[in-house]
Structures are given as structure tokens and as C-alpha cells.
Chains A and B, each alone.
Chain A
Amino acid sequence: MFKKGLTRRDFVKAGLLTAAATGLGAGVLKPTGLWAAEAKIKGPVKVGYQAILSGTLAGYGEFHKMGVDMAVEEINAAGGIGGAKLEVEFRDSTLKNPEAIKNARYFVDSWGADFLAGVDSSGQALALAPVMAQLDKPLMVTHAATEKLTEQEVFKNGVKQIFRICTPTYQDGNAAAFVAKDLPAMKWATISPKYEYGYTCWGMFKDTLGKLKPGTEFVAESWAPFGTTDFRAHINTIMDANPDGLYSVEWAGELITMMKQADQAGLFKKIKHVMLPVGAAMDVLEGLGAEMPDNIWISGRYFFLYPDNPKNNEWVAAFQKRWKHYPAYVSETGYSSIYAFKAAVEAAGSKDTKAVIEALEGMEFDSPAGKRVFRKEDHQAMYSVPWGLTKADPKYPFKIMGKMVVIPPEECFNRPPFEGAASMPPFKS
């Protein structure tokens, strides 16, 4: 049976086809040139930032905020990220795990964040890992230092959404051991916080120093619970053991208290080599002022006098002008975390999670702390932070680093696959 001409059905079909072709054509023939560049990244780029803003450590949160606010002001004044405005919202992390999780969920599900950053405590960072996998947005950790986050969660469990821009415990344990091996000290002791961070750092220090300098003895350990205000018993334990060197990862207010009490007890006259992996934090240096003894080894996650190059010096000057403070290390990591997202979004041409993660992996970028590279395997930023000896300087109302020693991260950071002795320093190559 043959039909003549077009039936009504054919007519409709043809119409639909034409319409579809027109639609497709418009889609395929994207506008190029100027127009495309404008519409690259849609809407504002939103970053949800959480840090401790209440309680005794609230000062840390304020320093986070100063760095981040500066980055936002600069970026938006210069036209935003790929033409899109940058928005940041802060939330108090309170150091409790359920609050950190609630904040992350609020940022992504309710506020519509594209990226998350911040996080102070290691417990929070570890608790956030499965949540980030579920929410599927990148999280840039700017303070929490536990190596388990990058070794276990990112590398082994494959939570690719997490990156860390600050130095991890390798700087506190391994790098300290590299400095200690050149000191004329064979007997070491510690006063450290009685929680995971303290145990981990001291363990790394012992392990690496033991390998670098066989015959080193570790003669005493004294663990101070969270919130210790009287360190005299701990100081006495250490002085009784008569070590050549003291290693302590006490931090913030507790470190200030410990240093004052140790000075009163005459510890620094007896023990000549003292290493404080987080002693170069601005709250500690400013808090102790002239009471910080000379010739103490200190380090941190960034120190404002290193690297001595135009980028860093200009940044420190701008920070000083804006906030009347020297930048704390969390100010630098907070500031750089925003720039890392900017660089990744612009490289990927999108704020889509997958594209940004791919762009961040192995990405090299310049920051006040120097050149940083995100290691592909574990998403840890590789950059160097100095260890230095304290000395007075008339230009500053607090002690600064005089002699500096830099241990390259390639030498002192654990390496993938994070199993066995071959993954831990010292490395042969």
C-alpha cells in the first residue's frame, strides 16, 4: 500500500527533526572568542571556611580569617576567579567533631559551597574524610597536621576530595630529627601533649633520629594532659633525667606557660639544646616576647621571614598594613588555600569537583611561603619551612629566627606507599 505525498504524521516528524537540529546546532556552535571567556565560570565561586572562633584558641580563628579575608579582597578587586565573584563564609568549628561535620554539610547542602577549607584539629579532619567523600566537594585543610589524613584517607582509602596546604607532622618529627642529628646532643627527652599529636611527633622524631644517628638515647618522656597549667612536675622529671636536648610539641598557651616555668626552674641553663616544632607560631613568639630565651630551635608551618623574596616580603608588608599584625602561619595557609582554589579553577576552566581535583593534583603554584606542589598520590603540599635559632632583633618586639636551616620536604616527608621503612626518611635517593 502506497501513500501519496506527506501524511500528517510525516509532517510532524519532519518538523520535530528540524527543531531538534536547530537546537543541537546552537549547542554545538558555541560562541567563541570574547564571549566564551566571559561565561567560563558560572556564578560566584563559594568557599566555606571553618576554624576555631570560640574558647581559649579563638585567636587562631581570627588569624585564619585575616589571611582569608585578605585573599578575598585582593581577588575580587582584581576581577574575581575567571570573571566570577569569590564569596567566603566562616563558621566556628568549636574543635568538636560533630560540629565540624555539621558545618561542612551546611556549607555544601544549604549554602551551596563549591569548596571547603580550614579545619584545626586532627580528629575533625579525620572525621570529615567520609563526609567529604559523600558531599563530593574539595576540602583544603589549612591547619590539622595528622599524617593519617593524607596517608590513610587520601592515599589508601581514596578520598580524593581532601588536600592539605600546611606541613604535616613530618615537619615536627622528621625534619626536627634532621636538625638534631647535627647537634652535639646524644640524650633527648620530651615534654609533649598527652594526645595523638604529641605521641606521633615524638615517635617520628625518635625513629628518624635513631636511624640518622645510631647511638642516640631517648631518656625521658613526660606527657602533659590537655589544659595543663602547672608544668613543674614535668620539668622536674626531665631535669632529673639529665638529657642533652629537650624536644617539645607543646603549643599555643601551654607552650608559653611551659617556657616561663622552665626558665624559672633553670632548665635552659642545664639543657642547652631545645627544639620546639611549633614554637615559631606568632601567638607564642608575641606571647613570650623577650622572655623567650635565645638559641632555641623553633619551627612552624610558615615563618614570615622566610623565604626572603619579594613576593613574601610584599605580602607580609601588606598584611602588616591591613591588620597591624605579623601573619601567623594559619594566616598564610588560609590565604594560600584561596589562591590554590583560584589557580585550580582557572586551570580547569570550571569549578566542577572532578576537574578541580585533577587540576590540583600535581599543581605547582607560588605562595608567600614559597613554591608549593600538591603531591599527586596523597594531596600533600610539598614546600619548605625553616627551622631556626631564636635571637633578639631591635626591629621586632619579639624573638625571631636568626640562623635558619631548611630541610627540603622531599628529604623529610614520608613517601608513598606509606608502608615499611622505605617510605620513611632517611631516603637513599
Chain B
Amino acid sequence: MGRYLPYMAFGLLIVLLVCIGLFADRFVLYLTMRVMLLSIFALGYNLLLGRTGLLSFGHAAFYAAGSYGMALFYLHINPDPLLGILAGVGLAVVASLVIGFFCVRHTEIYFAMLTLAFGMMVFSLIWNLRDITGGDDGLVGIGRNPLLGFSIAKDSQYYFLVVFFFALTVWIIHRIRSSPFGLVLAGISENHQRASFAGISIKSYRLAAFVISGAFAGLAGSLGAMLESNSDPFSAHWTHSAEPVLVSLIGGLHTFSGPIVGSVLFVVLREIIERFTQNWMLWLGIILLVIIMGFRGGAMGSAEQYLARWGRKFREESAS
């Protein structure tokens, strides 16, 4: 039973998403897409933070690489959406390879600062290369052409493409986490000296995790560019890099579903608060603080602990 639980949860989630796609109004659809994009971003990111134990403050750069890669490809080369996404992810992979190569030599605060510096370098590049990136205006006019003959111009149609990529991301990240590769990453996070004594090339593994997380950031970015029909320079800013960190923390760093739950909480809570007060930043901050400090291991982490305790109690009672 326990073995199949994740698959059942996954199936239920997809059914729920499809139902939202079929029956919900346009604003709910849009918010759900924003949640899914943030989830894709954070799921990839958490492979680096939760699994490998590396705190990066520069992943917005790869999100922006995906977004601008998609936009530039659309505007100058080919308006096909799939090729555009491919171009966006490709650019993000290249960027994360180059940046990752320099960053994974270090850990902890040095790693965090290096990624922050590289991230802001990408931001200022985007800001200053006006002829290519449109400067602070960003790139506008990204349309949604038919995909393999199916129209995705309407939000209700595009939604299902996002659901597809979201499901794909969940599946791939799950496979990676339970593969030998994912276990090595966890091993490095636990004790990197021991891992290197065991003959593991730590740097290559770290770089691989870095590039994979960068690729998913790029996927989220290119899907985001199509959703909003523009590329925004601030998507490369460090404040945007903080989002997957926050979301992973809220949901639970060491759980698989943490980033998804965190994304839902982050977007929905803010939406609710904004309806009551213009001072939403303060209230969201307070609530996030309570979640992070009050629920050890994030929302999903403490839920797991609670369930485990409850399960043990239940078993003890039924045994006596």
C-alpha cells in the first residue's frame, strides 16, 4: 500500500489539474499555471538545494536564459513553440554549464555568493545589451503558434501544455531522485569527504545536479515567456532567485513534494492576502515566517513526521 501511495497521489494531482483545466474560470487557470511554473522551477532547484545541499542564489539567471532564449528564437529564427522551448532550455543548459563549472568548486557561503555574483552578471548583461534584449523594456510580442497542429493560443488550450510539462518534470525529478545518481547526490550532501573517499568525483556530480536544475529553470522560463508573451529582465534578478529557495523551505527541503506544496501555498496565500490588504508584503512575510519557524522541515516535512508518529501510535494500539 505504502509503495503505491506516491503514484496514487501523482495520479490524483493530474486528475485534479485536468479538472481545473476543464471547468475552472480563466483567472484560476492562470494562477494554476503560475503555480505549475513555479513548481517546475523549484522542483529542479530542490535537486540542488535539498538533495545535494548546495544553496544557489543565481538560478533566476537560468530562468531568464530560458525566457530570453525562447523569445529570441521566436522573434528571429522560428516561431514554433516546441523548438522555442528547446532553444530556451538549451540556452539555460549552456549557461548553467559555464556558470556551474566555476561555482561547484566551492560550497556553502562561497558557493552561494559566487552564484549570486554570476546571476547578477547575467542580469546586468540583459539590462545593458539593449539591442538584443530590449533593455528594461524586455522582449515583447511573443505569440503562441499551433503546436503539432493543435492551437494553444487560448489560455484554456495552453494550460494543457503546461500540465504536460509539469507532469513530465515531476516524473523526471522523481526518477532522478530514486536513481543511483540521485542517491550519490544525497550521499554527497550527507558527507562529501566520505563520498570522495568512496571514489566519487564530487565536482562532476555537483555540476550535473547544477545543470539539471538549471535546465528545469530554463523550462519554466520558456513556458513563462509564452504564458506572459514577454521576457522580463527582472526575471534574472536575485530577488527572483530567492523564490525557489523560499518555496522549497515552505514546502519542505527534504521531501519530494515540498516544492509543489510550497508553490501552491506561496501563490495562493499571496492572492488571498492581497484581497484584504494592500500591505500584503508584511502579512505574507509574517505567515511565511510562522510556517518556516513553526513547522520543522516545512509543511510537507512536518506532515510526514506527524503521519509517522500517528502511524506508530496506531500500530502500537492495534498490537496491544
Contact = CB atoms under 8 A, between A and B. Distances in A.
Contacts of B25: 109-110
A146 B136 CA distance: 12
A196 B130 contact: yes
B187 interface: no
Interface of B: 25-27, 30-31, 34, 127-128, 130, 134-138, 140-141, 143, 155, 224, 228-230, 232-235, 271, 274, 278, 280-281
A106 B275 CA distance: 10
Bin chain A's interface residue count: 20 to 34
A131 B130 CA distance: 24
Interface in A88-134: 90-92, 95-98, 101-102, 105-106, 109-110, 122-123, 126-127, 129-131, 134
Contact of B137 (A102, A105, A157, A196): A196
B278 A109 contact: no
Contact of A98 (B232, B233, B271): B232
Interface SS of chain B: helix
Nearest to A128: B230
A161 B140 CA distance: 17
B34 A102 contact: yes
B136 A196 contact: yes
Contacts of A96: 232, 234
A131 B229 contact: yes
Interface of A: 53-54, 90-92, 95-98, 101-102, 105-106, 109-110, 122-123, 126-127, 129-131, 134, 146, 148, 157, 194-197, 199, 226
B154 to A, nearest CB: 9
Given A90-B278, A98-B232, A102-B30, 13 more contacts: A101-B228, A102-B34, A106-B27, A106-B271, A122-B136, A123-B136, A126-B138, A127-B138, A127-B230, A131-B229, A146-B137, A199-B135, A226-B136
Contacts, number: 79
B232 A105 contact: no
24 contacts: A54-B281, A90-B278, A92-B274, A92-B278, A95-B234, A97-B138, A97-B230, A97-B232, A98-B232, A98-B235, A102-B31, A102-B34, A105-B26, A109-B25, A109-B30, A126-B137, A127-B229, A127-B230, A127-B232, A130-B229, A131-B228, A194-B127, A196-B137, A199-B135
A146 B143 CA distance: 22
Given A97-B230, A110-B27, A122 B280 contact: no
Contact of B228 (A127, A146, A196): A127
B127 A123 contact: no
A105 B135 CA distance: 25
B140 A53 contact: no
A129 B135 contact: no
Given A102-B34, A123-B137, A195-B136, A97 B228 contact: yes
A293 B278 CA distance: 37
B47 to A, nearest CB: 24
